[in-house]
Amino acid sequence: MSRKLLVLFLVLLLAVMALAACGGAKETAAPTEAAAVTSAPTATEATAAQPTEKPAMQEGEGMLATVKARGKIICGVNQAVPGFGFLQSDGSFAGFDIDFCKALAAAVFGDATKVEYRPLNAKQRFTALQAGEIDVLIRNTTWTLTRDTELGANFAPTTFYDGQGITVRKDSGIKTLQDLQGASICVSSGTTTELNLADQMAANGIEYTPVVFETADETTGAYLDGRCDAYTTDKSGLVARMSMFPHPEEHMIMDVTLSKEPLGPVVRQGDDQWFDIVKWMVFATFQAEESGVTSQNVDDMKNADDPNVRKLLGTEGDMGAKLGLDNDWAYNIIKQVGNYAEIYNRNLGPDTVFNLARGMNSSYVDGGLLYSPPFR
Ligand SMILES: N[C@@H](CCC(=O)N[C@@H](CS)C(=O)NCC(=O)O)C(=O)O
């Protein structure tokens, strides 16, 4: 097959896949192998940022080399969830997930600003990842077996342990799942949310009508317009979106959790070095919190006696070189973006409108689930 024909074939294949993804609850995306080495345009590009000088993935080249040659990381993000991934009125992106994009840039370039953000809705994200349009997806994405296998994704450590919840109007009288018998429920397509809802309602024998939309704006807009009795997504998303409601005090998050939603960064399968870099970028933020290293004291901590801290910060050993990075990669993350607690508090902590309790998202030393393997 000539190159032209091959490109045409891939474009058609991706277009068909994108259409299929719009169809229903089952999650679909292009086969990884065909898509991973091409930068052929897909349905996602209509809403994505302008094409970059260099596509995300070059054939026969590792991701780290590709990213370094380009001079920035292309991070697939959310633009509609305040506190996590949000496009602000000045055109900049902010949030917990956004800070992990910055941390990756700090690790790779020693400069947290070297990021291009690609806003993606739920359905677009895996196609964009597989097509090589983004280097990493950091967008309230749940780790599931299907995504880890059939969707050709590799999941870095969970950065936010979440669960699915339901928002209703306080005056609706709805309190339990059973109260949703016969209700209409607004939900976003291409999400675990849509699938969990179907499973949980069926398991509990509750008849309901899903009212499905592509974006958070449409989903919450329909709920606020009274087209649904309830609105469901990750609890983090419920809190985040409620902060945008005209009258948040009229709504409440029900005391039910429909699922486990471990959220974290995702890369394409097929590049172990890049996967390692993204994993250890996350671990560096966990370890820094555990060891008491912050953006404020990181310079002094370089001279700490603790061998773990010395290795983390590159005073001792060659941890960076093992990842293909400079030895001050983790120092740069902590100095420029902060440890996990700093990232959490900046975006979601007591001084924000969200004021989310750390709960499971605490270090294991504080009874939470965040645990870094040893830096050695
Ligand atoms: N964590 C779930 C849900 C993630 C998700 O995309 N949630 C929607 C509902 S709030 C969202 O963020 N939408 C933002 C948008 O695309 O406008 C998943 O990975 O499937």
In this structure, the answer to whether residues 187 and 145 fall within a common structural domain is no
Q: Is residue 363 part of a domain?
A: no
Residues 86 and 200 in one domain: no
Based on the fold, state whether residues 85 and 181 are members of the same structural domain.
no
Residue 69 lies in a domain: yes
**Domain finish residue from 126, 160, 194:** 160
Structure tokens at 187: 């939900």
Nearest to 295 by CA among 350, 329, 339: 339
Is residue 27 domain-shared with residue 137, that is, in the same domain?
yes
Tokens of residue 18, six digits: 């994108």
Cβ–ligand 1 contact at 242 (below 6 Å): no
Q: Are residues 104 and 20 in the same domain?
A: yes
Residues 86 and 46 in one domain: yes
60 with 96, same domain: the answer is yes
Residues 6+ apart with CB under 8 A from 150: none
User: Do 12 and 71 fall into the same domain?
Assistant: yes
358 lies in a domain?
no
- Radius of gyration from C-alpha coordinates of the chain: 21
User: Ligand 1, residues 118, 233, 238: which to mutate, most atoms within 8 A of Cβ?
Assistant: 233
- What total number of domains does the chain contain? 2
Residues 19 and 148 occupy one common structural domain? yes
pLDDT at 161: 98
- Asked if residue 116 has its Cβ within 6 Å of ligand 1, the reply is no
Asked whether 269 lines ligand 1 (CB < 6 A), one says no
CB 313 within 8 Å of CB 319: no
Find the CATH number of the domain harbouring 78.
3.40.190.10
pLDDT recorded at residue 60? 55
Per-residue pLDDT of the chain (376 residues; tens, 9 = 90+): 444 444 444 444 433 333 333 333 445 443 332 233 223 233 232 333 344 445 555 555 799 999 999 999 999 999 999 999 999 999 999 999 999 999 999 999 999 999 999 999 999 999 999 999 999 999 999 999 999 999 999 999 999 999 999 999 999 999 999 999 999 999 999 999 999 999 999 999 999 999 999 999 999 999 999 999 999 999 999 999 999 999 999 999 999 999 999 999 999 999 999 999 999 999 999 999 999 999 999 999 999 999 999 999 999 999 999 999 999 999 999 999 999 999 999 999 999 999 999 999 999 999 999 999 999 9
Residue 193 lies in a domain: yes
Token readout for 334 is: 């902590």
Structure tokens at 272: 């172990």
> Facing residues of 153 across strands?
268
C-alpha 122 – ligand 1 centre gap (Å) = 5
Q: Which amino acid is at 168?
A: V
- Residue 251 placed within a domain: yes
Same domain, 73 and 152: yes
Domain containing residue 206:
164-259
194 in any annotated domain: yes
Written as one letter, the residue type at 260 is K
Q: Are residues 116 and 238 in the same domain?
A: no
Please report the pLDDT score of residue 17 as a whole number. 39
- Is 129 a domain residue? yes
Give the domain-ending residue among 259, 277, 302: 259
* Cβ of residue 81 lying under 6 Å from some atom of ligand 1: yes
Residue 55 sits in the same domain as residue 186:
no
Instruction: Name every residue whose Cβ is closer than 8 Å to that of residue 79 and which is 6 or more positions away in sequence.
Output: 85, 86, 87, 93, 119
Q: Which two tokens stand for residue 301?
A: 């901590």
Domain endpoint, select from 243, 259, 275: 259
Tokens linked to 60: 């026969």
